[in-house]
């Protein structure tokens, strides 16, 4: 890393509160297709923003449920990568680290991160479409063909309505508590990492801006340019599974 990262290592060692804000790019190296990449097979002629809505579910529940089941099976078959592991390791080195993710997978948890804030919900928390009570997945785990398939959603045990994925769809609000906690942590931190997110989807995309406004140093980890480039004090161009472990190693050598 260049000279810039020498400063970053100092900033990080001195930081009392760190926020790590992640997106689909963090899970890319675990083989989880990013949201927009996921539209292959059965869903290739759809737009992600078209499928991830309550309207789409109402219109064709089996199409939408099948899509999320396919994604859930991909996640179950995947493992956390070195990027997830490095973020969990960082949490053990700094006095306070808050991890905020837009991802609906559980790879941060499986890497050992505690108390992950899931802004966009989870693939593993289905609930009733009508009465919102938590629901369970059917016992047997479906073998999803590579191209995906339609699957009728289970019925709610209480009211018989279809069960929906526990994710935030377009047009829906984010879980209020999670959003509040995220902004609070962002406004109170010394350093915020934005890792693997296109910074395009609001309100989540505003979190790094809130941190910068409150005086935090913003660090971006992304192989590609994003709208956050101009705000970030440090732009680390590269893959999360390479950049994050190296940064942790170089900041806390000998650990």
Q: Which x/- pattern, by CB under 6 A, does the window 180-219 give for ligand OAD? A: ----------------xxx-xx------------------
**Alpha helix ranges (H) inside 78-148:** 82-93, 107-110
245 binds, among Zn ion, ligand OAD, none (CB under 5 to 8 A by kind): none
Does 24 bind ligand OAD (CB under 6 A)? Our answer is yes
Window 31-70: residues binding ligand OAD (CB under 6 A): 34-36, 52
Q: The tokens of 111 are what?
A: 């890497």
Q: Which of 202, 224, 254, 255 binds ligand OAD (CB under 6 A)?
A: 224
Residues 6+ apart with CB under 8 A from 103: 22, 23, 24, 26, 27, 118, 120
Look at residue 247 and give the partner it binds from ligand OAD, Zn ion, none, a contact being a CB closer than 5 to 8 Å depending on partner kind: none
Contact 223, 23 (CB under 8 A): no
Judged by CB under 6 A, the chain residues 153 through 172 that form the site for ligand OAD are 167-168
Site string for Zn ion, 156-195 (x = CB under 5 A): x-xx-x----------------------------------
* N- to C-terminal Cα separation, the chain: 19
| d(C-alpha 71, C-alpha 101), whole Å | 17
Whether 33 contacts 46, CB under 8 Å: no
User: Interface with ligand OAD by CB under 6 A: which range of 13-21, 26-34, 63-71, 144-152?
Assistant: 26-34
120 included as an active-site residue: yes
Size of the site for Zn ion (CB under 5 A): 7
Q: Which does 223 bind (CB under 5 to 8 A by kind): Zn ion, ligand OAD, none?
A: ligand OAD
Query: Could you tell me the sign of the dihedral formed by the alpha carbons of 100, 118, 230, 5, in that order?
Result: positive
**Stretch of residues binding Zn ion (CB under 5 A), selected from 20-28, 104-112, 124-132, 232-240:** 124-132
Crossing angle of helices 240-251 and 82-93, in 10° steps, is 30
Residue 73 engages ligand OAD in binding (rule: CB under 6 A) = no
Strand partners, 162: 155
Element (H, E) at 18: strand 17-22
Contact 106, 98 (CB under 8 A): no
- Considering only the C-alpha atoms of the chain, give the largest distance between any 2 of them, rounded to a whole number of Å: 61
Residues involved in catalysis: 120
Q: Contact residues for Zn ion (CB under 5 A)?
A: 128, 130-131, 156, 158-159, 161
Q: Contact residues for ligand OAD (CB under 6 A)?
A: 23-25, 28-29, 34-36, 52, 102, 120, 167-168, 196-198, 200-201, 221-224, 226, 239-240
């Amino acid at each position: 890393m260049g000279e810039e990262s020498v400063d970053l290592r100092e900033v990080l060692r001195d930081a009392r509160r760190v926020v790590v804000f992640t997106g689909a790019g963090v899970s890319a190296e675990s083989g989880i297709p990013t949201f927009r990449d996921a539209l292959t097979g059965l869903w290739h002629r759809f737009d992600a923003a078209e499928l991830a809505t309550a309207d789409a579910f109402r219109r064709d529940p089996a199409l939408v449920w099948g899509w999320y089941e396919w994604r859930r099976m991909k996640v179950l078959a995947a493992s956390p990568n070195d990027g997830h592991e490095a973020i969990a390791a960082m949490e053990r080195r700094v006095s306070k680290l808050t991890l905020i993710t837009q991802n609906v997978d559980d790879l941060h948890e499986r890497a050992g991160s505690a108390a992950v804030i899931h802004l966009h919900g989870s693939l593993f928390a289905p609930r009733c479409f009508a009465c919102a009570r938590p629901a369970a997945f059917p016992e047997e785990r479906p073998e999803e063909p590579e191209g995906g398939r339609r699957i009728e959603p289970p019925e709610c045990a209480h009211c018989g309505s279809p069960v929906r994925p526990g994710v935030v769809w377009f047009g829906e609000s984010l879980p209020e508590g999670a959003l509040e906690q995220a902004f609070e942590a962002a406004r109170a931190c010394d350093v915020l990492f934005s890792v693997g997110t296109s910074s395009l989807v609001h309100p989540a995309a505003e979190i790094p801006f809130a941190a910068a406004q409150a005086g935090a140093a913003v660090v971006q980890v992304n192989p590609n340019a994003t709208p956050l480039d101009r705000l970030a004090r440090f732009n680390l161009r590269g893959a999360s599974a390479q950049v994050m472990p190296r940064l942790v190693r170089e900041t806390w050598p000998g650990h």
